[in-house]
Amino acid sequence: MKKLLLLYIAFMLIANPFLSNGFAQDYTQWQLPEGAKMRLGKGKINDITFSSDGTRFAVAATIGIWIYDAETGEEFALLTGHQREVKAVEFSLDGRTFTSVDAGGETRLWDATTRKLRAILTESTDLIEEVALSSNGTKLVTANVDDKFRLWHLGETDQEPIIIDDTRQRVSALALSPDGSILASSKTPHHNSISQTPVENFRLQVWDTTTQKMLFNLPGDTEQIHTLVFSPDGRTLAGLDVDGKAQLWDADTGTSQLTLKGNERWARMSEFSSDGRYLAIADSDGNVRVWDITIKPPHQSASLQVFKENSEDVSTLELSPDGKTLLVASESGTIRAWNIATGNQHFTITGHIGSMLHLTFSETDKVLTSINSPNFVWLESVFQHRQWDVRTGNLLFTHFFESDGAEKISPDGGTVLVDHRDGTLDLWDIHAKRSRSTLKGNMKDELNVQFALSLDGKVLAGVGKDRIIRVWKSKQSAWRQFFSRLPWGRSFFGANPQFTFKVHRKDGFGALALSPDGKILAHARTLPMTVNTTVYLYSTETGENLRTLKAFTDRITDLVFSPDGKTIAGGNREAIHLWDTLTGTQLRVCTLERLAVSVTLVFSPDSSILISAARGTVVEFPDGAVRLAGGGWLSEATSVHGGGSIQLWEAHTGDLLATYTGHTDRVQTLAFSKDEKTLASGSADGTILLWDWETLKKANNR
């Protein structure tokens, strides 16, 4: 009997290779980088596509490609290897392979059965703005910062791309016909870099990729188009503008065929069903309508079914090949599968969330709290607060709150500092779902404010464009602090700051940091157009300027005190500087291997190691290397390549100890567990990696 059972299990694993991941381990353990022990979150969704037989669908996410069972919604596999976020994925017509392309233009061909990489079809560059794949996966087009399109035939090797000269306008939408013979793009005009006058505006341009000739264009006298899709036969082009109006054109002539008017701005549109009959459109309030575009008379259509997506903004829509199932992905990271005929929901997939902003562990280290920004940030956006079980990786709690910005999270994870355009700050209680206190003092419409919060949560400091540093402190007794934590209680912060420090109006304000005991406030300032940076240390007890720290460097974007309070580290795009807190002496400089947009810093619990994470890297070009529209020149560009790494530095000598990679986008937050065994890194790729600290600090992999 035992032999029969073993033979059955072996047969099942061979017959269905997708089951092996499910038997072997939980998906939070899949494709982990060296030193990591768990991944929380699946990455933001960029694209969804069904296999030709409709049994599977692939999600192009910021960390790779997820393969799901289309019947149950179960995870089959996670495919990694792209160094940047995956922007598009397409199955071949026979379902045997699929093609993926990332934000740098690297294209990979995968075996759909074994999930193994077959070939890298195009290499990555740092000049890509938008990408599009033909639905048969044979052609790729990229829109580059030099205002040219590049078309690749993915089956050919050692090829040079076909270049199509553009009209010097930024691309807002891009699409290829199924066979790749027609390219459609929607444009937003650049402005002349000197006169600020716009160049000629084309709302829509359609090109013949064989002749590189424009077939037709539509002037830009109406709303901008942000989504373009071709019908399966390539004869019809559909576009959706920012006012929620969908229009269908003849792809050869540009003749308008049909107009569908929504009632909301920034709607979303699906691909056509495989028979070209159905098209799904989602309004920004979450209403999803599936339209039968064959209904007569022309220029009108009917709503086949309406789904209410819990009032969440919809990010992506996809119809199954048979037109019976609709996948709806929301900005909160949820994918729901609907039966179009009945309106019933099949399954729900969670975990595809937006950029990680803040992390903190609970006192017991059993729970990790994260604050996420929405996938698309607008004024009064809906931010997301989540709590994760660190032992199992399960999501325990999700809460949404509206804000212009989520700036800091309290050490216990219960309170978020949110700022508003009216100049006020709210201390938002996550669990009570209400404001504990409203702080005043910032300028109206000021959202570019630097904040610092002490480890005990009792001291808060902020500085904005008015160059005034404000410090709020708790002065309440222990019993009042206890009552402030009750559901009906108020915060022990007063509305008005206890101290204000006026910064010289010509100084550029930089990062803020509070010492572990909250008694010292550090503020970095740089004279404009110079590399003359000063870090000022203030007493939060008296407001006295204690001492100044000097550095010959550019603007410092992050400051942090060591846990023992003896060292201050400040980082920018070029290097990390360390000073002695007591004397103000500069101790050492850690030079970054490549220019970064900014850095995130944290010390190890014993203060012996400094951990840094680059927030994106800067790619430099020779002067005049890339010409932009309006006569400008590009000398450097920002890239996420390499921006997902963390580095360990010996705090005493400044020596680089190790470098670890694992995120595909910039790391924005770092946090240690209270037992000092786990380092958590939160990234703009929508994931958290939990690293084993003992493993990290023992390695030597510079």
pLDDT-based confidence at residue 222 (cuts at 50, 70, 90): low
> What is the pLDDT averaged over residues 223-231?
85
Shared-domain flag, residues 529 and 665 = yes
Cis peptide before 563 (omega within 30 of 0): no
> What is the pLDDT averaged over residues 299-307?
51
pLDDT at 157 over 50: yes
Amino acid at 160: E
pLDDT-based confidence at residue 434 (cuts at 50, 70, 90): confident
Shared-domain flag, residues 525 and 662 = yes
Shared-domain flag, residues 334 and 478 = no
> What is the pLDDT averaged over residues 376-382?
54
First to last CA, the chain: 53
Distances in whole angstroms, Cα of residue 37 to Cα of each of 28, 30, 134, 375, 604 = 9, 10, 38, 26, 18
Shared-domain flag, residues 546 and 653 = yes
Q: Is 266 inside a domain boundary? A: yes
Distances in whole angstroms, Cα of residue 422 to Cα of each of 83, 168, 426, 444 = 40, 38, 11, 5
**Which of the listed residues 337, 352, 367 is the one where a domain comes to its end?**
352
Shared-domain flag, residues 515 and 630 = yes
Could you tell me what percent of the chain has a pLDDT over 70?
Answer: 74
> What is the pLDDT averaged over residues 89-93?
89
Least confident interval from 43-57, 85-99, 482-496: 482-496
Shared-domain flag, residues 336 and 460 = no
Shared-domain flag, residues 680 and 545 = yes
Main-chain phi, psi angles of 654, to 5 degrees:
80, 10
**Which of the listed residues 327, 352, 377 is the one where a domain comes to its end?**
352
Distances in whole angstroms, Cα of residue 594 to Cα of each of 257, 526, 681, 702 = 52, 22, 20, 14
pLDDT of residue 129: 75
pLDDT-based confidence at residue 631 (cuts at 50, 70, 90): very low
Which residue in 564, 529, 530, 525 sits closest to 545, CA to CA? Answer: 525
pLDDT at 417 over 90: no
> What is the pLDDT averaged over residues 432-449?
66
Amino acid at 639: S
Half-sphere exposure of 44 (CA within 13 A, CB side): 23
Report the phi/psi class of residue 27: left, alpha or beta, with left for phi > 0 and alpha for psi in -120 to 50: alpha
pLDDT of residue 513: 92
Contact status, residue 180 vs residue 161, Cβ threshold 8 Å? no
Q: Is 503 inside a domain boundary? A: yes
Q: Which of 129-138, 393-402, 489-498, 690-699 has the highest mean pLDDT?
A: 690-699
pLDDT at 413 over 50: yes
Copy the structure tokens of residue 694: 């003992």
> What is the pLDDT averaged over residues 298-320?
64
Split into its structural domains, the chain has a count of 2
pLDDT of residue 241: 84
pLDDT of residue 310: 54
pLDDT of residue 194: 38
**pLDDT tens sequence across 648-685:** 999 988 899 998 988 988 898 999 999 999 999 999 89
Contact status, residue 691 vs residue 36, Cβ threshold 8 Å? yes
pLDDT of residue 648: 93
CATH number of domain containing 491: 2.130.10.10
**Which of the listed residues 301, 319, 352 is the one where a domain comes to its end?**
352
CA 120 to chain centroid, in Å, comes to 25
pLDDT of residue 392: 93
pLDDT-based confidence at residue 150 (cuts at 50, 70, 90): confident
Domain residue limits at 314: 222-352
**pLDDT tens sequence across 452-477:** 888 877 888 887 777 788 888 876 54
pLDDT of residue 442: 60
Q: Which of 201-210, 537-546, 617-626 has the highest mean pLDDT?
A: 537-546
Q: Is 336 inside a domain boundary? A: yes
- Average pLDDT along the chain: 78
> What is the pLDDT averaged over residues 197-206?
66
Q: What is the pTM of this model?
A: 0.85
Please enumerate in sequence order all residues whose Cβ is within 8 A of that of 6, keeping only pairs 6 or more positions apart, or say none: none
Shared-domain flag, residues 346 and 456 = no
Shared-domain flag, residues 344 and 455 = no
Q: Is 640 inside a domain boundary? A: yes
pLDDT at 193 over 60: no
The Cα 199–Cα 191 span in angstroms is 6
pLDDT of residue 430: 73
> What is the pLDDT averaged over residues 27-47?
94
Query: What secondary structure does DSSP assign to 425-464, as a single string?
Result: EEEEETTTTEEEEEE--SPTT----EEEE-TTS-EEEEE-
Instruction: Tell me whether residue 364 is exposed, middle or buried, using C-beta atoms within 10 angstroms of its C-beta: 0 to 12, 13 to 18, 19 or more.
Output: exposed
pLDDT-based confidence at residue 443 (cuts at 50, 70, 90): low
Copy the structure tokens of residue 609: 């190691």
Shared-domain flag, residues 522 and 671 = yes
The Cα 354–Cα 687 span in angstroms is 8
pLDDT at 269 over 60: yes
pLDDT at 690 over 80: yes
> What is the pLDDT averaged over residues 636-640?
50
pLDDT of residue 305: 56
Amino acid at 339: N
Give the 3-state secondary structure percentages of the chain, helix then strand then coil, rounded to 5. Answer: 5, 50, 45
Report the phi/psi class of residue 464: left, alpha or beta, with left for phi > 0 and alpha for psi in -120 to 50: beta
Q: Is 239 inside a domain boundary? A: yes
Shared-domain flag, residues 457 and 348 = no
Q: Is 119 inside a domain boundary? A: no
Least confident interval from 21-35, 424-438, 464-478, 649-663: 464-478
